[in-house]
């Protein structure tokens, strides 16, 4: 049974989940991944190897049939427990703990065993995005959860343990400190200017055109001004919305083309790099016992977007000690390289 412990020195919650050590790993230490679909729990026909399905998109109506196109299952080696009641902090001497109540789901993004996201068809990416929206609606509607993080690890260096394309969704009973800091920054800007910080940044970036990689009808891909990682990219919707749940079909179709197109640029330049894709979408303000100012006007001051972080740099002592990153590729250089194509 996982539990949450508060780090007294930073206010961060830490998930203690010993059982996850038993999970299968395609990637052994430093070698080529074991890549046999016969052993893969995410293959069509292997549905019984995963816990019962939560959601799916399939042409037929029969649940658990093997004709799914996207399938959501609980993580068999979950870092959190979805059956528990609402987490309530309990004192333990100086310390604080709470039940590891949360949801940890796997989105199996394709029936195809070994395919990079850059090779997905827009139709398939659109299905995955639709599933993300559906899961967000359910999980953010659950009063036990304050925050939902959707993310994707591709490649061993990015944290993937299985080759089969998948992303993960974690619903947490707390708001992580790093996300609180983002909300505080955007709320502060909004309080001064009554404007959204990312809308303003987007306008300035499009005008200066130093860090823009591509600009479509609905989404702009740019290298952020102060990226922590070489070739870090943001995919930003032009229309101001705080929440991925509100993305309509025309924009979803556009984003479904934009994602693989952007990843192909990274593949060409960095030769198929491992990467993380992070969805930055607003938490729900309703399930907090306190109502700090950064949760006010959330739909006005926060602007959802995607982050793509190629994992070509090892984080080391400085980053661990200070969270200060040294980035050896300026975003202007990264943007120019990606705009011009293969180096």
- Positions touching Zn ion (CB under 5 A) are 37, 40, 42-43, 113, 164, 196, 198-199, 240, 303
Q: How far is the CB of 240 from Zn ion (least distance, A)?
A: 3
Q: How many CB atoms lie within 10 A of CB 214?
A: 17
Decide: helix, strand or coil at residue 87.
coil
The set of residues, in sequence order, having a beta carbon less than 8 Å from that of 212 and lying 6+ positions away, is 205, 206, 220, 221, 222, 335
The three-state secondary structure class of 240 is coil
Looking at the Cβ atoms of 71 and 303, the one nearer to Zn ion is 303
Residue spans of beta strands (DSSP E) within 70-183: 70-74, 90-92, 95-99, 103-108, 147-154, 166-172
Distance (Å, whole) CA 103 – CA 222? 32
CB of 302 to Zn ion, least distance (A): 8
Task: Give 81 or 299: the residue with its C-beta nearer to Zn ion.
Answer: 299
Report in angstroms how near the CB of residue 66 gets to Zn ion at its nearest: 13
Beta carbon of residue 37, minimum distance to Zn ion (angstroms, whole number): 5
Residues 6+ apart with CB under 8 A from 119: 260
Phi–psi pair at 236, nearest 5 degrees? -115, 125
Query: Computed over its alpha carbons, how large is the radius of gyration of the chain?
Result: 20
* Sign of the dihedral through C-alpha 239, 274, 167, 182: negative
State the minimum distance, in angstroms, from the CB of residue 162 to Zn ion: 7
Nearest residue (CB) to Zn ion, 135 versus 303: 303
Write down the least CB distance from residue 174 to Zn ion, Å: 25
Provide long-range contacts, Cβ within 8 A and 24+ apart, for 131-134. Answer: 131/55, 131/57, 131/70, 131/72, 131/107, 132/107, 132/167, 132/169, 132/244, 132/279, 133/244, 133/245, 133/247, 133/252, 134/55
Nearest to Zn ion of 97, 113 (CB atom): 113
Q: Largest Cα–Cα distance of the chain, in whole Å? A: 59
Q: Based on CB atoms, which residue is closest to Zn ion, 202 or 270?
A: 202
**With respect to Zn ion, which residue has the nearer C-beta, 102 or 237?**
237
Rounded least distance, CB 112 to Zn ion, Å: 8
Closer CB to Zn ion, 12 or 28, in the complex: 28
What's the closest the beta carbon of residue 95 comes to Zn ion, in angstroms?
A: 39
Between residues 201 and 312, which has the closer beta carbon with respect to Zn ion? 201
| Residue 169 CB contacts under 8 Å (≥ 6 apart), including other chains | 72, 103, 104, 105, 106, 107, 132, 135, 139, 148, 149, 150
């Amino acid at each position: 049974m996982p539990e949450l412990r508060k780090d007294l020195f930073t206010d961060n919650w830490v998930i203690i989940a010993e059982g996850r050590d038993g999970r299968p790993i395609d990637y052994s230490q430093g070698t080529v991944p074991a890549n046999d679909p016969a052993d893969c729990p995410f293959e069509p026909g292997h549905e019984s190897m995963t816990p019962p399905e939560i959601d799916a998109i399939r042409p037929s109506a029969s649940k658990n049939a093997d004709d799914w196109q996207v399938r959501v299952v609980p993580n068999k080696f979950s870092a959190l427990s979805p059956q528990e009641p609402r987490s309530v902090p309990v004192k333990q001497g100086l310390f604080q703990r709470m039940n590891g109540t949360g949801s940890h789901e796997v989105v199996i993004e394709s029936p195809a065993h070994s395919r990079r996201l850059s090779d997905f068809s827009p139709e398939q990416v659109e299905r995955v995005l639709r599933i993300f929206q559906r899961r967000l609606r359910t999980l953010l509607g659950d009063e036990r959860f304050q925050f939902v993080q959707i993310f994707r690890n591709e490649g061993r260096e990015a944290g993937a343990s299985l080759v089969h394309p998948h992303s993960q969704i974690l619903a947490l009973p707390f708001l992580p400190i790093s996300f609180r800091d983002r909300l505080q920054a955007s709320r502060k800007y909004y309080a001064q200017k009554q404007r959204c910080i990312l809308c303003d940044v987007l306008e300035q970036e499009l005008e200066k055109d130093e860090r823009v990689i591509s600009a479509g009808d609905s989404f702009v891909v740019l290298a952020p001004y102060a990226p922590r990682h070489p070739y870090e990219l943001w995919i930003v919707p032009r229309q101001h919305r705080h929440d991925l749940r509100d993305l309509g079909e025309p924009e979803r179709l556009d984003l479904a083309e934009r994602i693989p197109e952007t990843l192909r640029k990274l593949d060409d330049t960095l030769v198929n790099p491992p990467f993380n894709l992070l969805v930055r979408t607003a938490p729900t303000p309703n399930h907090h016992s306190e109502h700090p100012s950064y949760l006010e006007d959330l739909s006005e001051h926060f602007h959802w977007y995607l982050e793509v972080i190629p994992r070509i740099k090892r984080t080391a002592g400085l980053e661990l000690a200070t969270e200060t990153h040294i980035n050896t590729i300026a975003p202007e250089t990264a943007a120019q390289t990606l705009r011009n194509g293969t180096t």
